[in-house]
A and B are shown apart, each in its own frame.
Chain A
Amino acid sequence: MIRALYARLRQGHRTIRYPEVLAPALPEHFRGRPLIDASRCVDGCRACADTCPIEAVHIDTVPRIDLGRCLFCTDCADACPQHAISHSSDYRLATRARGDLLVAPGEELKLARALDERLRSLFGRSLKLRQVSAGGCNACEADVNVLSTIGWDLGRFGIQMVASPRHADGILITGCVTENMRTALLDTYQAVAAPKIVIAVGACAIAGGPFVNHPQQHNGVPESIPVDLYIPGCPPHPLTILDGLLRLLDRLPREGR
């Protein structure tokens, strides 16, 4: 007993102070929102689009990166002979609409706006989520789980993962939605009482991730389930997930958004 108390004392208080203070520093190689410097692009060059493993880069006149598909690898940046693509350390990536996930040169990302007033009054201070793992690799699940550890303490925002969809205000979906999980996902969604929200976490749930177009899966959340929040990444950093949730609930301090 005394050992446990001593250990407790020694381990100290470890919950990060974000969002009251700025987010903790991310490592040098962290890959957040990609930056495209189209002024460096050479006419006719398609190196980035031709290298991307999952066709997340589209070129019409300039390259655009679909963050919903992006795996945040460095394949496009490494392939570009002009070094026109780089990754910033900006972890804020969540959006409300699928179309908002397109990164174009020089344009700001339309980060997620808060829920409307009615839903915010219902869920703003207490949001219970049922997570459904619908065919991924367990990395998104792992970094969703991290938010419940003492380092992040998701509970302080009134957000909690619950065991039953009957107890939930919404579902948080990870995975590309395999044929074998499709029914279970639809059933779980149906079991949540309305009004309910849906959060798609990770490249798989948004667009199929590395498994896009495999016949054994459905390229992410089906259209019959309307998504309220898209959190891109493969997997998204816990900060990216938390930032998205707090934006949705309008829980970020005004300054430093």
Chain B
Amino acid sequence: MADTSFTRMWNGEAIPLERAARMHLDKFLSSIVEGVARGWRLSSLFAQEACDGEGLELVALLAEDARAALHVGIGHVSGSAFPSITPLCPQAHLFEREIHEQSGLIPEGHPWLKPVRFAAPWIGNTGASASPRPSIGHAEFYSVEGDEIHEVAVGPVHAGVIEPGHFRFQCHGEKVFHLEIMLGYQHRGIEEAMRGGPHRATLRQMEAIAGDTSIAHTWAYCQNIEAMASIHVPPRALVVRGMALELERLANHTGDLGALAGDVGFLPTMSFCGRLRGDFLNMSAVLCGSRFGRNLLTPGGARFDCDARATADLQNRLEEAERDVRQAISLLWTTPSVQGRFENTGTVSRKDCVDLGMVGVAARSCGVEVDVRSTHPTGIYQFTTIPLATAHYGDVNSRAFVRWLEIERSLVFLRERLRTLPQGEIGAAPAPLAPNTLAASLVEGWRGEVCHVAITDASGRFARYKITDPSFHNWPGLAMALRGQEISDFPLCNKSFNLSYCGVDL
């Protein structure tokens, strides 16, 4: 758009750093607010050491879904503070907290500048900000006071075999007034370790940002590398990537629908889907030996070919799984006791969804049309479209139903790809990264938009690598879904989002 001061680029594109629009901080911040007011989404916002070596600068990536465009801008921060845009743009709230924690910069006027991961700062001159930090679990929580108000604390170690996180509920009887979610328990220092990379372990760390989203994160990483090194991925590899991403979606969506059934005590679908999820994971293992798609993607293409035997094997497995999954999941829509629990539970309004910048299944369930595969397609999705699935009530049932629609569409996609797999190579030779370059990649993981932004220094190494998991945008949505709910509905609401803890913790 001619009237924006940001630089327009495309998903999976690399641009010379000098082409990225630099502007006065005020202009930078107002451009974000204006962009978001116009319906763009804040896909990423982060601090980095200024390229000229003086102080810090902020980098923002906005997604304009209607025109498949991304907009990037850089604003220099002089001093140790900048005006917070959170009061005008709630999407920025967690990004600003993250910036504060990573660099010590203070977003002045931020409503509550709490830690995100309880980690030490590492961007810029951190000597001055090495003041004592709160240890995890010992922060102030939003609290409600009054007669009969009570507080429920859950985690970090939960009842099931799940990741650690802390939930603090403010309740009146069974009714939840407010839920606060505190994460950071799995902070492994992934972004910090990217500096000076790519390193030998980088690709393996990308696969383990969130183990259930291995393909989406690794794809985003590979796409950045390929853009910065001008590598053209052969069509056959693009298709293998697409199949792997949809298998990841099928496994997780099927597992989630089974778990949702379990949370309302409907055991048939729970049992069937628990097994069927494994069948889809095993299909990923047919592709690459790993149920989680480990070692399949590599910059330049794929590491394993889908040969004739694997193709036939996958076709058979897919046919069988489709029949079983259709039957198992259809029970959900025809069983009144399930529908009674799913409908009108954990509702997020469309307005809250848009204000918070939610993405993926959770956003589409509120009728918001965001799906990178349709709105910012790269790879195989440039050649074949997967119809975007939405629902309109923003409740557990909508989130469940959108998953089912997506399962159906992924199955069609896979069948078609297996039938028409293009011939040719599955990989291209590696090449060095261009120096002083910025690349941005969005990939629609099964939870939603995975966003990676890479910036190289003068020697072609990473000066900054920013990772945003879809859960980063969506955890506040879960908190909103709980408002006014019974606390006993928390497991059901939580599972209907099924967000990643480690994807946020990094």
Contact = CB atoms under 8 A, between A and B. Distances in A.
Interface of A: 3-4, 7-8, 10-11, 14, 26-31, 51-54, 71-74, 87, 130-146, 148-151, 161, 163-165, 175-176, 178-181, 184, 188, 209-212, 214-217, 234-235, 237
Interface residues of B, number: 68
Q: 8 closest Cβ contacts across the A-B interface? A: A139-B211, A29-B289, A137-B211, A149-B274, A163-B159, A216-B189, A137-B208, A53-B201
A217 B208 CA distance: 15
A188 B202 CA distance: 32
B185 A11 contact: no
Given A140-B211, A141-B163, A184-B164, A135 B187 contact: yes
Contact of B186 (A30, A51, A181): A181
A175 B186 contact: yes
B357 interface: no
Contact of B292 (A73, A135, A139): A139
16 contacts: A10-B324, A11-B324, A27-B285, A28-B289, A72-B295, A133-B163, A136-B186, A136-B502, A139-B214, A150-B271, A161-B161, A180-B119, A180-B184, A180-B185, A184-B156, A211-B205
B207 A210 contact: yes
A143 B291 contact: yes
Given A3-B334, A133-B161, 14 more contacts: A26-B285, A31-B290, A133-B162, A133-B164, A137-B214, A138-B210, A145-B161, A146-B278, A178-B188, A179-B187, A180-B118, A181-B164, A184-B156, A216-B192
A146 B207 CA distance: 20
A209 B190 CA distance: 13
A77 B25 CA distance: 50
Given A145-B161, A184-B157, A217 B189 contact: yes
Nearest to A151: B275
Nearest to A161: B161
B188 A217 contact: yes
Contacts of B201: 53-54, 210, 212
B275 A149 contact: yes
B331 A136 contact: no
A235 B188 contact: no
A73 B294 contact: yes
A150 B274 contact: yes
B328 A74 contact: no
Contacts of B186: 133, 135-136, 175, 178, 180-181
A26 B159 CA distance: 32
Contacts of B271: 11, 149-150
A26 B210 CA distance: 24
Contacts of A130: 157
B318 interface: no
Contacts of A52: 200
B272 A7 contact: yes
Contacts of A217: 188-189
Given A51-B200, A131-B161, A178-B188, A31 B156 contact: no
A172 to B, nearest CB: 8
Nearest to A12: B324
Nearest to B206: A210
A8 B268 contact: yes
B204 interface: yes
A184 B185 contact: yes
A235 B292 contact: yes
Contacts of B160: 161, 163
Contacts of A163: 159-160
B167 interface: no
A213 to B, nearest CB: 9
